[in-house]
A = this chain, B = another copy of it.
Amino acid sequence: MGAAQVRISDGFWDSYIELVRETVIPYQWEALNDRIADAEPSYAIRNFRIAAGLEEGEYGGMVFQDSDVAKWLEAVGYSLANHPDADLEQTADEVIDLIALAQQEDGYLNTYFTVKAPGERWTNLYEAHELYCAGHMIEAAVAYYAATGKRKLLDVMCRFADYIERVFGREPGKLRGYDGHQEIELALVKLHKATGEERYLELAKYFVDERGAEPNFFAEECRQSVGLSIWTKQKLPVPSAGQLAYLQAHRPVREQDTAVGHSVRAVYMYAAMADLAGLTGDASLLAACRRLWANTTKKQMYITGGIGSTHHGEAFTFDYDLPNDTIYAETCASIGLIFFAQRMLQLEAKSDYADVLERALYNNVIGSMSQDGKHYFYVNPLEVWPKASQINPGRHHVKAVRQKWFGCSCCPPNVARLLSSLNDYIYTASAADNMIHTHLFIGSEASFALAAGKVAFIQQSNLPWEGRVSIEITEAPNEAFTLALRIPSWSRGKAALTINGSRTEYKVENGYAVICRVWTAGDVVVWEPELTAQLTAAHPEIRANAGKAAIERGPLVYCLEEVDNGNRIPSLSILTGTELQSTYDTGLLGGAVTITVEGRADNRNSWQSDTPYRPIENNEQPTSVTLRAVPYYLWGNRQPGEMTVWIRTAAVGV
C-alpha cells in the first residue's frame, strides 16, 4: 500500500466531522466523566482513577467500560490528525498519563480486574472482555501516535501486548486461549504496522488461528471455572455449540462460511481475518473472508447496511431472515462491517466492497446519530410503530427516539472514531502498481506516494445530492499512473467520464473505471455516475419485504415518516411506474433532497371502530396521495412517529 495523506473538505461530511469534533468528542468526554444530567453514569474515567490509586471507590459500569475511554481517545487521535487542537490534546495527554498510572508492573492494564476482581485475570475470557479492552486501547495508542507522534500510550500498550504475548500461546506453560469478544486481533495488526514488530502480527495470527480449534478453549475454561458468571452470578455452564457460535468459536475460522452469532464480534473478526489474509497471503483465510463477506452482505444485510436480525444476543439469525420491525441492526455492527469492507478493499479493490461500505455509512451509521450529536440509536429499525415500541415487549429494544449516552455505550464512541477517521476510507493506493482507487465520493485533498512518484489531487463531490465528482490533479509524476473511479451500484453502470472537458470512454475493472495515463497538474477529471431516485425490490426470499419497494437515491435509502405522511404508515402504498420527484429542501434539517411520489392510502372513512374485520368489497377505493420520503439517516429528528423504509407497492391504474 502506498502512504496516503487525505484531508476531507466536503459539503456533506464536513458538518459531521465538525459535529464529532465540536460536540460529540466534548460531550462524550463529559459522559465518560459522569457529568451528563439524566444519563446513566459511565464511571469509565473514575475507574481509571481508582485503578491508578488517585481515588477511592468501587468499580462502576460494564466489565468492558475501559473500552469507552479507548474509543474516545482513538477518536481524539483521528480528530487531532485532521484538526490540531491544543486543549483537546492536553486533555488526552492527561488521560494517557492516567492510563499509564493504572498500568500494573507487569504491563497488565484493565481497571475491572485491577479494581474489582484482582487475582482473576484471564480466568474468564469467555465473558470478561479483557483482550477486547486491550485491543481498543491499542487502536487508540496507534491513532494517537500517528496524530501527535507522542509515544507514551503506544509504549504503554506495547508493554501490555508484550505481556499478553508472554501469557498466551501454544508453548508449554502458556494459556492456549483467546478472547470472548474479538477485537485484539485487528488491533495487533495495527500495532504491528505502527511499530514494525513482527511478533504483534504473529500474536494476532495466533488468536485468529486458535479460535474454534478443538478441544474448544471456552468449553474447557468453563468446565474448569471456579468463579461465577459475570452476568448471571451463577456457575458458568459449559457452552453449547450455539453458545460457541455466538462468539464465532464453534469451529475454526477457516471453516466458517455463514455469519452467525453476535454480529459485532463477527465483523470485527472478519476484519482481522482480512488483514491477516492480506499481510500473510494466506489463501484459505482469503477464501473464508470472501465466503463470509458474501453471506453477510448478500443474505443477511438490511438495505441500510444494518446487520443483526435479532436483539436476542444482538445476533445474526439465518439467510434472508430480515424482519424490519423486530430488527437489531446495531450501529456498532455496521461500523464493524465498514472495517471489514475497508480491509477487503485493501486486499482486492472490487466495487462491491465499497458499495456496501457506502451503504452502511450513509444510512445505518449516520442515521444512528441525532443531528445534535448527543443522541444515538443503538438499534436501527426499518419500520417503527412507536406505540408498539413502548407497549409490546417484543419491540421494547426498538426505540422511536434516539437516547442519550447508554449504560452500555459502545455505539456513540464507535461513531465518533469512524467519522473522525473517515479520510482513511475514501481511497486505497497501490504504490507498486501506480494505482489509486477512489471508493467514496467525498470531497478531499489527497496525496499518495507511488512508485512513479508523488501524486496529489483535489476531489470535489456533490454527493449524496448530485452525481457529480471532479478530481483535479495538483501534483503528478512524469510517469503514468492509474486512477480508478468506482462505478457505484446505484448508477446501474451508467457513469460519464470527462477528462479536461472531453467526454472519454473508459475501461472497467472490478467495478471501477480505470484510466491510466500520464497526468499533469491541472488535469481535471469529471466523474458523473447517474444519480436518480429509484425503487428497489428485495430478493423474494426476504419474506419481510414481499410486495414492497424501497426508495433509494444514490447512496441514500429513503423512508416515509409520520410527520410527513400522517400516521398509519402501513396503510400507504407507492405507485410503481410513476415518477419519483426529487427536490432539494433547504429547510429540512440542514438541507436534503426529499422525494415525492404518487401513492395510495387505504380508505378508512367507512370503517367503524367496532368492526375489526369485514368483507373486502366493503372497502372503498384507496385515496390518491402524494408520498413524501426523506433520507433514512434523517429519520426521527423532527417528531416521534411511525416510519418505514419498505413500502407496499401498487401498480398504476389500481
Contact = CB atoms under 8 A, between A and B. Distances in A.
B546 A612 contact: no
Contact of A607 (B323, B540, B615, B616): B540
A542 interface: yes
B611 A298 contact: yes
Contact of A310 (B297, B394, B573, B610): B394
Interface stretch (A69-77, A78-86, A99-107, A646-654): A646-654
A304 to B, nearest CB: 10
Contacts of A550: 613
Top 5 A-B residue pairs of the complex, sorted by shortest distance between their CB atoms: A312-B393, A546-B570, A535-B616, A543-B570, A537-B616
A109 to B, nearest CB: 35
Q: How many copies does the complex hold?
A: 2
Given A326-B326, A392-B310, A547 B547 contact: yes
Nearest to A311: B394
Interface string A381-406: 00001011001111000000000000
Contacts of A543: 385, 568-571
A309 B392 contact: yes
A321 interface: yes
A618 B493 CA distance: 14
B539 A649 contact: no
Interface residues of A, number: 66
A613 B317 contact: no
Interface of A: 294, 297-299, 301, 303, 309-313, 317-318, 321, 323, 325-326, 385, 387-388, 391-394, 492, 534-544, 546-547, 549-550, 568-571, 573, 576, 602-604, 607, 609-619, 648-649, 651, 653-654
A317 B537 contact: no
Given A537-B615, A576-B616, 8 more contacts: A298-B612, A321-B392, A492-B615, A534-B615, A538-B612, A539-B607, A549-B616, A616-B649
A615 B318 contact: no
A651 B617 CA distance: 12
Contacts of A610: 294, 298
Contacts of A576: 616
Contact of A539 (B298, B303, B612): B612
A571 B538 CA distance: 11
Contacts of A615: 492, 534-537
Contact of A541 (B301, B547, B568): B568
Most chain B CB within 10 A, of A318, A534, A541, is at A541
Contacts of A613: 303, 536-539, 550
Contacts of A539: 607, 609, 611-613
Contacts of A648: 546-547
Contact of A540 (B392, B544, B571, B573): B571
Given A568-B543, A648-B547, A616 B536 contact: yes
Nearest to A619: B537
Contacts of A492: 615
A297 B284 CA distance: 59
Contacts of A604: 540-541
A612 B299 contact: yes
A526 B229 CA distance: 71
A369 B299 CA distance: 36
Contact of A318 (B297, B387, B394, B653): B387
A309 B387 CA distance: 14
A643 B570 CA distance: 22
Nearest to A614: B537
Given A326-B326, A387-B318, A571-B540, A310 B393 contact: yes
Contacts of A602: 540, 546-547
Nearest to A618: B537
Contacts of A309: 392
A317 to B, nearest CB: 4
